[in-house]
Amino acid sequence: MTAETTARPVDAEELRRRTAELLAAHPPATTERLDFLRARFAAGLAWVHFPEGLGGLGAPRALQAVVDEELAAAGAPDNDPGRIGIGLGMAAPTILRYGTEEQRQRFLPPLWTGEEVWCQLFSEPGAGSDLAGLATRAVRDGDSWVVDGQKVWTSGAHKSRWAILIARTDPDAPKHRGITYFLCDMTDPGVEVRPLRQITGEAEFNEVFLTGVRIPDSRRLGEVGEGWKVAQTTLMNERVAIGGNRIPREGGMIGVAAADWRERPELRTHDLHQRLLRLWVEAEVARLTGERLRQQLIQGQPGPEGSGMKLSFARLAQEISGWEVEFLAEDGLTYDSWTHTGSDVLSFTGREAGYRYLRAKGNSIEGGTSEVLLNIVAERVLGLPSEPRTDKDVAWKDLPR
């Protein structure tokens, strides 16, 4: 389902008027943060392109910036998008498109305000790049489904209330056609979360074990057996969220590298200067391409172009962080928390070069491996022939594992 238009078109002037009314009725200086966020959602100023009653006004997506600028100028609180990014960037657009009205009304408001954090139960130990080969089973039992299996690389599972989950409901069907999509309560009996310690010392990812977890059929998203189609909406939005964030010129990691260059003239060499110039130009090209992609998003759902943006983001993050470590020499090999024991995601550009270098290694895996995304771009953007797939019409139960 796409955003609907209201009876009266909503333009920038109308949004400014509504924002002023929100601020007058709920002054940020004297209103509790959560109360303000709930009022903003109710006023349709959360994500203006969503339908009325679901945090939006059916306005063009591009006009969200008008609201955000007015609220930022007034010192209004935001919903901490870094903490709830999976909900905002992946769960919300999928629930909007495939959810029932009851599901939308139940899940979207607390998702946007941050009262309920979401995670993604997709990847498995034996189904990462070949996600459609997943083995987690969901068996129908009356009005519920009983789920058993294991998921891995689940960002934020340790602090999430809800999860978007795909599981196999028909092992006799080919792997892409026997999957169903669910909304899983992470507090239900049988859900066990175990942290995975990373090379950076953090544990922002987890493995999740599902043992006899009962999910009501009312929390199924989309039709039985059509989970792969629903998951594509999630994955396309995920790649846009990872690689298509709006940043200013010389923002993000290239800005950090450029600042290092300006502040440490004693470390400069001709070779490093030439490499930095090339990376700066490529980062600017990626930024402008991202702006064009966002303009395309205004017209509808994200397409495979988001995979190209995510590819570019991962490569640049790794090359820039590598350049920075080389430029800073021994100073680039250290950071304050090599033995950090916390479990939350820390600021990426707000940390030291050594941390960025290590953390960037995951960028080419999370949100779809670069190898898989290259195939998507080749086949769905460039129109090149598909790779041979001998297992497309074979029942999942008959596939070698």
Do residues 109 and 152 share a domain? no
Tell me what pLDDT residue 236 has: 78
- Helix, strand, coil distribution of the chain in percent, nearest 5: 45, 15, 40
Do residues 184 and 308 share a domain? no
Q: Which residues pair with 332 in a beta bridge?
A: none
What is the CATH number for 72?
1.10.540.10
- Quick one: pLDDT band at residue 25, thresholds 50, 70, 90? very high
Tell me, yes or no, whether 6 lies in a domain: no
315: pLDDT strictly greater than 90: yes
Distant-in-sequence, close-in-space partners of 17: CB < 8 Å, separation ≥ 6: none
CB-count burial class (<10 Å; 0-12, 13-18, 19+) for 390: exposed
Distant-in-sequence, close-in-space partners of 18: CB < 8 Å, separation ≥ 6: 43, 44, 45, 57
Tell me what pLDDT residue 345 has: 46
Domain housing 96:
12-113
Of 192, 225, 258, the one marking the end of a domain is 225
pTM for the model? 0.84
Tell me, yes or no, whether 389 lies in a domain: no
Q: Name residue, tokens 């998702």.
A: 111
Tell me what pLDDT residue 96 has: 96
148: pLDDT strictly greater than 70: yes
pLDDT tens string 233-273 = 898 776 665 555 667 888 889 999 999 999 999 999 999 99
Do residues 91 and 125 share a domain? no
Q: Name residue, tokens 């009314």.
A: 21
146: pLDDT strictly greater than 50: yes
CA 294 to chain centre: 15
Instruction: Supply the residues annotated as catalytic.
Output: 238
Distances in Å between the Cα of 325 and the Cα atoms of 170, 198, 248, 275, 329 are 49, 19, 24, 13, 6
Q: What percent of the chain has pLDDT over 90?
A: 62
Tell me what pLDDT residue 124 has: 95
How far is residue 180's CA from residue 182's CA, in Å, rounded to a whole number? 7
- Does 184 or 348 have the greater pLDDT score? 184
Report the pLDDT averaged over residues 43-57.
Answer: 96
Tell me what pLDDT residue 6 has: 42
